[in-house]
Amino acid sequence: MGSGKELFILGVLVMVRECLTECSHGFNTARGQKCVDRNECEETAGICRGHADCFNTNGSFLCRCHQGYSHSEGLVNFTKDGHCQEVNECIEFTNICGPAAQCTNLMGSYECTTCNLGYSNNGFSNCIDINECYEAQMKQEDLCGSEGTCINSNGSYCCSCSKGYTNYGNNSTKCSPLKCDSFNGNGGPASSLGGLADILFMMRNSCLALSNPSAASEVKTDGEALIEKLFTAVESILSPGQLNSSEDVSGLLSTVENAIMLIGPQLKDKHTRMETTETEAEIAVQRGKTRPTGPIQLTNEVATLNTDWTTAAGTGPYPGFALAALLSYKKLEKSVNRSFEGLKGHEKDGVTPSFQISSKVVSVVVSNPNTQQLNRNVTITLRHLQDTEESDELSYICAYWKENGTWSTDGCYQQKSNATHTVCTCEHLSSFAVLMALCPMKHSFGLQVVTKIGLTISLLCLVLCILTFKFCRSIKGTRTTIHLHLCICLFVADLFFLAGISQTKPVGGCSFVAAMLHYFFLAVFTWMLLEGVQLYRMVVMVFNATMRPLYLYLTGYGTPLVIVVISAIIRPSGYGTDQHCWLSLKDGLIWSFFGPVCFIIILNVFFFLVTVWKLAQKFATLNPDLTQLHKIRAFTVTAIAQMCILGLMWVFGAFLFQEDNTVVAYIFTILNSLQGALVFFMHCLLSKQVREEYAHFLSCICTPQKKRYSDFTSTNPSSSQSQALRSGQHTGESQI
């Protein structure tokens, strides 16, 4: 019994011993049958993965992230869940390096070694303020200019400018002198050009505010608002129409260029574009302590500027900025299509060319104060108003607008041209407008010969007609009076045309020639109308066909005089152009000639139709007066032929003073030459009475005195009858 209990106890002890020899997780069985702790950190390399340290614990372990890293789930101690990720201290901790340095993130750390502009590292990882004013004084550098005072501030400095100087709101740039007097006006174009005085007033106030240190500190500069006001004011000046004088053009150009020089440094952006219905501008500004370098290309629809910042800044004192601007005027070419007297040396084959504007007007502005002689040429590419290739008769030149209100080519050269563009290179700018001029070479030698010979023949024929109508007594009457004065007017008109149509200088003389041509050519048509009225009265008013000479003179010379006087009052500048002494084709003045001409032709056509219809009726009567009717029919045919030639001539004359008109010029000249010969042939040579008068006159000159006396006393009956017959015919003609 006792031995049985002992055996049971012994079995239980053996079982307990076996259970006690199995160690828990994290422990190992050692010699002597003991459980000892496992060091997982040593047994398993990288158990905590990257950027973490492993720490062993009794029966386990834990991981902790390295400094500069944090657990993905925000835990401090962890085993296997999650991982360590890098911490960006520069973002996580605001202003970790203080206000004077820049934070640079590193893997697991950061650095504050990069100091902000205006600070420097003192060697102890601290950034301290740099006293720029003191350092500049030690180095004998001029930070603020001769009229500026340097004031140090935390991390920077500012320049306090004296009165009359400014840094355009950029406190760390040099003080530059201001020329506010350029916006005074002084009774120039501002007094006559509406709206320019407002621009000058606005710019002068802005200039004075910048030049006054106390006002400049109170008023915040706003270049964008100022440039918008400027071009809005320019739009109001140009929108009503073209400018009246060269002085107005010069005043506007110089004012706008000076305004851009003042506003440009106040603009915040490096590139500014501004477009209105009248202008388009692009302004580029570079700022910095050193002069900018590199190319500049400014472009718009009508022009391109190519230069560089070295040229724009110049070689003089650097104010801390450089400016370049390209400004194009969309309609100003109409106001400057004159004043070409300064263009010399463009003659070809002894012919002085005529000029006209062939591009938009473009202004180039740079901050370089010395633009009279640039160190490098600027290149400007201009778009033609019309696509036309150069030829022997047409060439393009590059010119600029001088301050005295004339065009000049000094220092500007044509580099190349095609049908659409011309490339110009210029040695200077000086705030002048750069443009192109078209100089078509006209009036070939052949056309001049035809004109002179043809008009000379016409003038000789007209002289014969005038002498015939004046002294030939057998044809005296209303119709002869009309023909006489028609020939006188045509003679004077052709004489002015031959002597003065191309004499454009002086301007006053050219205007006078144009007015005389206008008057006498209108008078020719007026007398032609009176001839139609006379024919109408001869057929319709048989017993009252004559017209009083006073009424003829008042109508024939008074009507064209009234038209010319009214036209000269309304459009005085339209008499004479740069190419010809004739009416300008612009502004509708040419219709003061073609309007009355068309009206007269229509009236004459009506009178001739009625005359022909009445003649046909009278020929169909039972007892027609055939002699009288045949005579009226002959008068009608010659009048219609004369009207057709004169009217056809001015159909071509309407296109005479335009481009590419050589063929038209030849036709007009030939028809103009035919006028005198036609009148002489129809009204003199075809008239039997006139031929007899010519024969009688020649016989008086060629026959000796005795022979003429014997002929005069002859009693030949046939001669007496012939003379009586001629007398009767003369009487009839006189009555007509």
Render pLDDT for 506-547 as a digit per residue (tens, 0 to 9): 888 999 999 999 999 899 889 888 877 777 777 666 545 667
Statement: residue 17 has pLDDT above 70: no
**Nearest alpha-carbon partner for 523 in 607, 593, 595, 603:** 593
**pLDDT tier at 272, thresholds 50, 70, 90:** very high
Query: In this prediction, what percent of the chain has a pLDDT beyond 90?
Result: 15
Digit-coded pLDDT (tens) for 74-86: 888 888 777 888 8
pTM of the model: 0.53
Question: Which long-range contacts (C-beta less than 8 Å, at least 24 apart) are formed by 92-99?
Answer: 97/127, 98/127, 99/155
Digit-coded pLDDT (tens) for 418-467: 889 999 999 888 545 444 555 444 445 555 676 778 778 888 988 988 88
Q: Is the peptide bond before 572 cis (omega within 30 degrees of 0)?
A: no
Lowest mean pLDDT across 228-242, 326-340, 382-396, 655-669: 655-669
**Nearest alpha-carbon partner for 185 in 173, 194, 176:** 194
Statement: residue 293 has pLDDT above 50: yes
Q: Is the dihedral of CA 600, 603, 609, 614 positive or negative?
A: negative
Digit-coded pLDDT (tens) for 186-225: 655 555 677 888 888 898 888 888 887 665 555 556 888 9
Where do the H-state alpha helices sit in 25-105? Answer: 40-43, 89-92
Statement: residue 34 has pLDDT above 70: yes
E strand or H helix at 424: strand 421-426
The shares of helix, strand and coil residues in the chain, as percent rounded to the nearest 5, are: 45, 20, 35
Where do the H-state alpha helices sit in 282-414? Answer: 309-313
Question: Which long-range contacts (C-beta less than 8 Å, at least 24 apart) are formed by 402-405?
Answer: 402/342, 402/432, 403/250, 403/254, 403/432, 404/250, 405/245, 405/246, 405/247, 405/249, 405/250, 405/339
Most confident of 424-433, 486-495, 498-507, 589-598: 486-495
**Nearest alpha-carbon partner for 593 in 637, 656, 502, 535:** 656
**Regarding beta strands 109-115 and 119-121, do their DSSP bridges make them parallel or antiparallel, or are they unpaired?**
unpaired
Burial 432-454 (b: 16+ CB within 10 A, else e): bbbbbbbbbbbbeeeeeebbeeb
724: tokens are: 């009586």
**pLDDT tier at 323, thresholds 50, 70, 90:** very high
Burial 319-328 (b: 16+ CB within 10 A, else e): bbbbbbbbbb
Query: In this prediction, what percent of the chain has a pLDDT beyond 70?
Result: 75
Q: Are 513 and 576 in contact (CB under 8 A)?
A: yes
671: tokens are: 């028809």
Digit-coded pLDDT (tens) for 354-407: 788 888 999 999 988 888 778 889 999 999 888 888 776 778 888 888 888 888
